[in-house]
Amino acid sequence: MKILEAKGLVKYYGKGENLVKAVDHSSFSVEKGEFVAVVGTSGSGKTTILNLIGGLDYADEGEITIDGEDLSRMKPDELTIFRRRKIGFIFQNYNLVTVLSVYKNIIMPVKLDGNKVDDAYIQRITAMLGIEKKMKSYPNQLSGGQQQRVAIARALSAKPAIILADEPTGNLDSKTSQEVMGLLKMTSREFNQTVIMITHNEEIAQLADRTIHIEDGKIVGGKA
């Protein structure tokens, strides 16, 4: 079952000699529960792809369907609600709220949507990620690897349709990167969670189920 389908995506910036074809008629799909890596060098268009999928920007042309809903037909306020309910984000810089405890950071997406927290599910996630004893700690009391584990738990907390991970190991050393990737893959399989990861690191990308290569805004390799 396809959880995401992108057809003919186009996103250009500038005009004339300054025209940048960030995404140039790119199409791909992702199956439910699949772990996909989108690989490309800096400026290849991979971050723009992530922003389009995540509803952080609109495509100039094309369609993006997530869990049966077309993002291109949504108004900004509808897109905000959809993003909060259906998409989990994991960022390179963790993006944790420093004044909130680990527990409150993790449950934030659930609370923002006005839903009841499934504490048994949260306990299961945090135990799997090895941070169950850090619930009362604050982000500045954690290592980089621990902060990224919290970010993974936060992304999983609302049980989204997909998780988008933007260079999730970019600020971590190689050993911690391998640990975080292993945990991300393990939680993906445990909860049948779809993950789309953006990375420039080919070694990290090999841990995904499938790799899509992008160059100059076009899909050039891998099975799209």
The model's pLDDT over 106-136, given as tens digits with 9 standing for 90+, comes to: 999 999 989 999 999 999 999 999 999 999 9
Name the pairing type of β-strands 162-166 and 20-31. unpaired
pLDDT-derived band at 223 (thresholds 50, 70, 90) equals: low
Question: For residue 9, is pLDDT > 70?
Answer: yes
pLDDT of residue 222: 62
Question: For residue 221, is pLDDT > 90?
Answer: no
Supply the pTM of this predicted model: 0.91
Q: How many domains does the chain have?
A: 1
Instruction: Name which of 149, 152, 161 is nearest 55 in CA terms.
Output: 161
Q: What's the CATH code of the domain at 186?
A: 3.40.50.300
Share of the chain above pLDDT 90, in %: 81
Q: Counting beta carbons within 10 angstroms of the beta carbon of residue 75, is it exposed (0 to 12), middle (13 to 18) or buried (19 or more)?
A: exposed
pLDDT of residue 14: 92
Name the pairing type of β-strands 210-215 and 218-222. antiparallel
pLDDT-derived band at 44 (thresholds 50, 70, 90) equals: very high
Q: Could you tell me the two tokens for 161?
A: 């349709």
Question: For residue 83, is pLDDT > 70?
Answer: yes
Strand partners, 196: 36, 164
- Strand ranges (DSSP E) for the chain? 2-13, 20-31, 35-39, 61-66, 69-70, 87-90, 162-166, 194-199, 210-215, 218-222
- Return the DSSP state at 201: -
**Mean pLDDT over all residues of the chain?**
93
Give yes or no for a contact between 181 and 204, defined as CB atoms under 8 angstroms apart. Answer: yes
- Return the DSSP state at 116: P
Share of the chain above pLDDT 70, in %: 99
The range of the structural domain enclosing residue 18 comes to 2-222
pLDDT of residue 142: 96
